[in-house]
Amino acid sequence: DWKMDSFVKTTIEELKAKIGKGKALCALSGGVDSSVAAVLLSKAIGKQLTCVFVDHGLLRKDEGDQVEAVFGPEGPYDLNFIRVNAKDRFYEKLKGVTEPEKKRKIIGEEFIRVFEEEAKKIGAVDYLVQGTIYPDVIESGLGKSAVIKSHHNVGGLPDFVDFKEIVEPLRLLFKDEVRAAGRELGLPEYLVNRQPFPGPGLGIRIIGEVTAEKVKIVQEADAIYREEVAKAGVEGLGQYFAALTNMRSVGVMGDGRTYDYAIALRAVMTSDFMTAESAQLPWEVLQKTTSRIVNEVKGVNRVLYDCTGKPPATIEFE
């Protein structure tokens, strides 16, 4: 893609000129925007860049390791990478909390706290890198995201980090252009093509209290679901994932009675994420996914499909 090729080259040159010998800090979430921003910076200034990746223990299965494989010392890029394994802190803070907005708030605040601690260790930096893209610029102008819920975004990191200036190398790009730039920069397809994933992660795909056991259940179920959808080659989905309902019900297994959780599968088609339709997934995909989940994931004896659109539901299931 010549257009992206030239965007990448020009941007790297501009960043080099702008930053010179300065230091930059980036909060890396593993999402496509912050990943592409980080790689651009690493190509421009190498080890003058430090990326902090906060693993809150609410990522999808193996996601933390995938991010580390790309950005860590074994990966292809030359940068300082810090992975903070903070899941115990997050689980501790979330103990007993069931209200969704409260969970979001706790996760958002704890995230900031962990990031702040790391930033303090690094000390003053010249530039704070943000993966802001064009639609974010427009949205925040309209104040849209504040309306329905407190969108915790790794993007909006405030004043507690001691820096001079914010750099936002993607602020003129649309999502598909960011993906194209990511490919140009050699990012693996699973990062470039990642579905949108909320900052509070699986914390808002578990109804009721978040526990380590529940996180494990939803991670396993979701991994199976994604695998089966990919295998079947279903296209055109805006977002799809498994959520853990807080409902337990009676089931049978062998000679015994079970009393286990129900997993909800969700898949939506959407053009702008403001409204969405439930997708008509092929029945065989749903059946195969269901039978694998109840067989392979301990603690689950029922799988439900969410047929609701947005509105009145939201895309997430919290």
Q: Does 134 bind ligand XMP (CB under 6 A)?
A: no
Minimum CB distance to ligand XMP, residue 173 (Å): 17
Q: Is 301 helix (H, G, I), strand (E, B) or coil?
A: strand
Q: 127 vs 240, which CB is nearer to ligand XMP?
A: 240
The secondary structure of residue 30, as a DSSP letter, is: S
Backbone angles phi, psi at 212, to 5 degrees: -60, -40
Q: Does 314 bind ligand XMP (CB under 6 A)?
A: yes
Minimum CB distance to ligand XMP, residue 230 (Å): 19
Minimum CB distance to ligand XMP, residue 147 (Å): 10
Number of residues that bind ligand XMP (CB under 6 A): 14
Q: Give the range of 68-76, 80-88, 114-122, 146-154 binding ligand XMP by CB under 6 A.
A: 146-154
Is position 256 annotated in a ligand binding site?
no
Give dist(CA 284, CA 281) in Å, integer: 8
Minimum CB distance to ligand XMP, residue 273 (Å): 4
Q: 91 vs 273, which CB is nearer to ligand XMP?
A: 273
Q: Does 105 bind ligand XMP (CB under 6 A)?
A: no
Give dist(CA 210, CA 207) in Å, integer: 8
Minimum CB distance to ligand XMP, residue 311 (Å): 9
Q: Indicate the pairing of strand 277-278 with strand 80-85.
A: unpaired
Restricted to residues 228-287, the positions that interact with ligand XMP (CB under 6 A) are 239, 273
For residues 84 and 51, the answer to whether their CB atoms sit within 8 Å is no
Q: Does 153 bind ligand XMP (CB under 6 A)?
A: yes
Query: Cα dihedral sign for 315, 155, 81, 200?
Result: negative
Q: 55 vs 260, which CB is nearer to ligand XMP?
A: 55
For residues 78 and 71, the answer to whether their CB atoms sit within 8 Å is no
Is position 145 annotated in a ligand binding site?
no
Minimum CB distance to ligand XMP, residue 60 (Å): 12
- The distance of Cα 228 from the centroid of its chain, to the nearest Å, equals 20
Smallest Cα–Cα separation from 271: which of 241, 243, 316, 236?
236
Backbone angles phi, psi at 216, to 5 degrees: -60, -45
Give dist(CA 48, CA 187) in Å, integer: 20
Backbone angles phi, psi at 316, to 5 degrees: -65, 170
Integer angstrom CA distances of residue 44 from 18, 30, 47, 60: 10, 20, 10, 30
Q: 87 vs 149, which CB is nearer to ligand XMP?
A: 149
Restricted to residues 50-79, the positions that interact with ligand XMP (CB under 6 A) are none
Backbone angles phi, psi at 264, to 5 degrees: -105, 130
Q: Does 203 bind ligand XMP (CB under 6 A)?
A: no
Q: Does 316 bind ligand XMP (CB under 6 A)?
A: yes
For residues 259 and 248, the answer to whether their CB atoms sit within 8 Å is yes
Q: Does 200 bind ligand XMP (CB under 6 A)?
A: yes
Q: 52 vs 315, which CB is nearer to ligand XMP?
A: 315
Q: Does 30 bind ligand XMP (CB under 6 A)?
A: no
Of residues 186, 196, 209, 213, which one binds ligand XMP by CB under 6 A?
A: 196
The secondary structure of residue 195, as a DSSP letter, is: P
Q: Give the range of 35-43, 117-125, 216-224, 309-317 binding ligand XMP by CB under 6 A.
A: 309-317
Binding-site residues for ATP: 29-35
Residues that bind ligand XMP (CB under 6 A): 148, 151-153, 196, 198-200, 239, 273, 310, 314-316
